[in-house]
Amino acid sequence: MNDQRVGNLKVLSERECRECGEPFLPKPGGYNARYCTNTCKLRRKRAVLKSTKPEQLRNARVRSYNQTKKHPERMAAHRAGCRNYRARAREWLAQYKLKHGCVDCGYSDHYAALQLDHEGEKSVEIADARSSIARLEAEIERGECVVRCANCHSIKTWERKQESRR
């Protein structure tokens, strides 16, 4: 941090945000600024709480939700936001399945006929994760998921069960 002086004033140099890594210029008086925005600061705080004190974070979320429930207009906005987010996650999943197509036969005409098949360790059911794009992406990577059409998925699952019986 090479801050310089011009007369009586200290001119702040550009810094790198500790959360997102973007360069930013601190506001006047922000000599110890570490984050480019308050959003980055809160995101970092939530991440630390999530790893060190998950119970405290859970309690804060419950308190916030209970406050939201007391105001009908806020609750309506909350529900609308949830519906929007789930719809975006499902749209993302549909596009992902169409883009990749069946690894066995190559089918990619309609997303409803395509399914995600775990080839690795299954940590969560896809149906439980499909309300969040981040959880879907994490499960696809962690579970080594591939896209298969319903027919190929049924056949592959049957073959796996036959192998495990031997």
Residue 2 has what pLDDT? 57
Report the sign of the C-alpha dihedral through residues 25, 28, 33, 35, in that order.
negative
Residue 126 has what pLDDT? 82
Residue 145 has what pLDDT? 87
Alpha helices, DSSP H, located in 15-149: 38-52, 54-69, 72-100, 126-129, 133-142
The reported pTM is 0.64
120, 143 Cβ separation under 8 angstroms: yes
Token couple for 120: 């690795």
Residue 72 has what pLDDT? 94
pLDDT in tens, 87-114: 999 999 999 999 999 999 999 999 999 9
Residue 98 has what pLDDT? 95
Closest CA to 31 of 73, 60, 1, 75: 1
Residue 3 has what pLDDT? 55
Residue 33 has what pLDDT? 85
Residue 120 has what pLDDT? 79
Identify the segments of the chain with pLDDT beneath 50. 1
Residue 48 has what pLDDT? 87
Torsion (CA) 21, 27, 31, 32 in degrees, nearest 10: -40
What does the domain layout of the chain look like in residue ranges?
1-55, 90-166
